[in-house]
Every structure is written in structure tokens, then in C-alpha cells.
Amino acid sequence: MSNKQKSLYDILGVKSTDSSTDIKKAYLKLARIHHPDKGGDPEQFKEICNASEILTDEKKRRIYDETGMTDGQLPENNGFPSGFTFPFEVNFNDLFGGMFGNPQVGPQRGPIRKNKKPQPAVQTIPLTLEQFYLGHQFDIHINRQSFCVQCEHTGAKSKELCKQCNGAGSITQVVQMGPMTMHTVGPCLGCQGKGEHVLEICNTCTGTGFIHEKRNLSVKIIPGTKSQETFIFPEVCSDNPAFERPGDVHIVISENYNDPAFKDFKRTGDQFQHLETAVTISLSESLLGCTVRLDNHPGYDEGLFIKIPPASFQNDKYCLNNCGMPLPGNIGKYGDLFVTIHVSIKPNERALLKSQGSDILSSLFKDNIRTLDCSEDEIHSELFLCK
């Protein structure tokens, strides 16, 4: 070996005692620096590849260590003549983990397949019971980005094909790696893989490819509309290059549980046309009947007055026709109002009933009281009220 000629170990900057793993690491480090796509010298890169190809092969490295012969002087290489060209391309971007960029961004791969439409944008709007009852209307103002028609979303008023890659967006180079001739494919650095250069930006979109516009979404709630009703506004979201069409907007209306009316009334029925509520009355009112006022009913500003009949007891349920929610599409027709009775017995009512009620009620209900055949001594009367 000539004194002026560098050894394969010197080319890679390793020692003859280094392992194959150390040599591979040194090769990859140098390849990142001296690859032609990164501005390196092709001849130097060829030397680096040749050195690595020999020194990482156990058989070739042993022959080189014993004879000092390089790969060009080896009689055979794995059964292939020296200088054999493989009929396939090697993508160095894949080989080195993408360190040379993304070759798929260029036009050589063909148009990127787009999805049809993104998922809809969903907005929930809470409404009061009165708004559901009387109907409601509101507007939503949105700012959206749409593709600039003037420049077809390119952002360029004029452009030209990249002369380095002829509009392909990628560059193919032939690299000799020992006995193999490989075709490397990497993105064109001159156009960043786009295949073209912008000469003059579009004045309409100032080079962004988008224009800004305002849209107004008007939502009309008819009386009696159900909660969770969804109003769909097709394709009013911003344009997105990854999709063929812009997304939809879904406006969902819901019950506003901060509204006191929803604490007093509940919507029921197959069309949510009925209202349910509960009324608490005393024992006296339960026995004799009374008039109560229901507040927060959306159809009665001054309150809804109803007559509770005498002898109304715990969990009795009454129905008041046509006092529920409006039926959508049926002017003048309403659901029903259902009132459940809760009886709360006050201490003074209980004491009064024990002291005087028995005599007053005896003439009315004496015949309905059960009798048993037993003596007074057999009856346990020491009951007390649990609290």
C-alpha cells in the first residue's frame, strides 16, 4: 500500500481494532455530512461508501487486513463481478431515516389523495324553557378562510418550473457503492420539493393562498322544538387543503339548567310536548283541597293557578289538558301538564288530629275501621313515633 494512499480505516476515521458496529456508526456520521444531496463531494462520498462496504463485511475485511487489497482489486464480490449495477433504486431518505427531507412532497409522487370532508364543527347552545315554549331566533357570526380563486390556492400570481429538477420535486443521482451502482432519490433542495418557484405573489391573498370572509348563520327555533335538535349548515367551515370540501357546522340546542324553570318543570312525552311538576301541600290542604300557584310556567307570566281537589294524598297525579308545551307545526295545540302531589304534615296538624280529629272523623269513617276479636289486655298500645 502506498504511503500517500489513505487506508480504509483512515477514510472512515476509525481504528483497525474497532468493531463492525463502531465502523457503521462512523460511516453514517460521515454520510450525513458528505452525501451529494447535502452538498458533499461525490468522489469523497464514494470512497466513504466503499470503505464501509468492505470493512463491515467480515470476509472482505479479513482479506483487506491480510493483503491490503481494496474492493476494486478483489477478484469477486459476493458472486457478482466488480462494477455490477443493480436494476433497482435505493432511496437514501429511507436508508438514513429521513435525514435528507421528505421525497413524497414533490410532484413526482402524483397528486395527494384528499379526504372528502372533515368532521363537522359542533356548537351547543343552551336555551331557557321560555325560549323553547315561545320560539327563539339567534345569529352566529363566523370568520372563515376560503381558497383564493384568483391564484387557485397557490399564493402565486406567476411561477416557473424548477430548473434543477425540471418540476419533478426530486433529484435522482447515481452513486457507486463499492461493486454496486445505486440510484439515490431525494427532494430537490432548490425548490424544497415543490417542483416550482414563485416569481410573483398573488395580490388578492398576499401569497397565502387563502382569503378571509365572514358568514352569518341564522338559527330559528320554532315553539315546542325538542332539546338536542341539531341544525346543520353545510360546508361553511374554512377550506382545508387536506379535504375536497369544507366541513359542516352543527348547532345543537340544549336545555339551560341554570334556568329556574327547568328546576320546576320537566319536559316529557314522545315529542317532549308535556310538562311535569310537583306541588307540596299540608295535611289540611290535602284533606280539604286548596288553590296553588305554579311559578315559572313559560305560558303564564303571573303564575298558573290550579285547584287541588279535597282528599288529595301523597303521589296523587293530576292532569291539566293543554297546559304543556306547544306542538311544533300545530298552531294552538299544546301538550298536557301533570302535577304530582306531595303531602307534608306539620306538627300542629298532627297534634290537632290526635286530640280532636278522632271524634270529628269517627262519624264519617267508623264503619270502615277494622275490628278484631281480642281482649283489651292482649292489645299493645305503647307505640311511639320514630323520628
* H, E, C per residue of 135-167: CEEEEEEEEEEEECCCCCCCCEEEEEECCCCCC
* For range 67-79, the mean pLDDT: 52
pLDDT in tens, 260-304: 999 999 999 999 999 999 999 999 999 999 999 999 999 999 999
Query: What are the residue boundaries of the structural domains of the chain, listed by start?
Result: 1-81, 261-347
Longest dimension (CA), the chain: 136
DSSP string over 39-72: T--HHHHHHHHHHHHHHTSHHHHHHHHHH---GG
- Residue 264: which of 170, 367, 130, 365 has the closest Cα? 130
C-alpha span between 208 and 200 (Å, rounded) = 12
C-alpha span between 23 and 134 (Å, rounded) = 81
CATH architecture, domain 261-347: Sandwich (2.60)
CB atoms within 10 A of CB 226: 14
Question: Three-state SS for 172?
Answer: strand
Q: Which single residue is written with the C-alpha cell 427531507? A: 101
Q: What is the CATH code of the structural domain delimited by 1-81?
A: 1.10.287.110
Same CATH topology for 1-81 and 261-347: the answer is no
pLDDT in tens, 96-135: 444 434 444 334 444 455 688 899 999 999 999 999 999 9
Q: Is the pLDDT of residue 346 over 80?
A: yes
pTM score, two decimals?
0.60
* For range 342-356, the mean pLDDT: 90
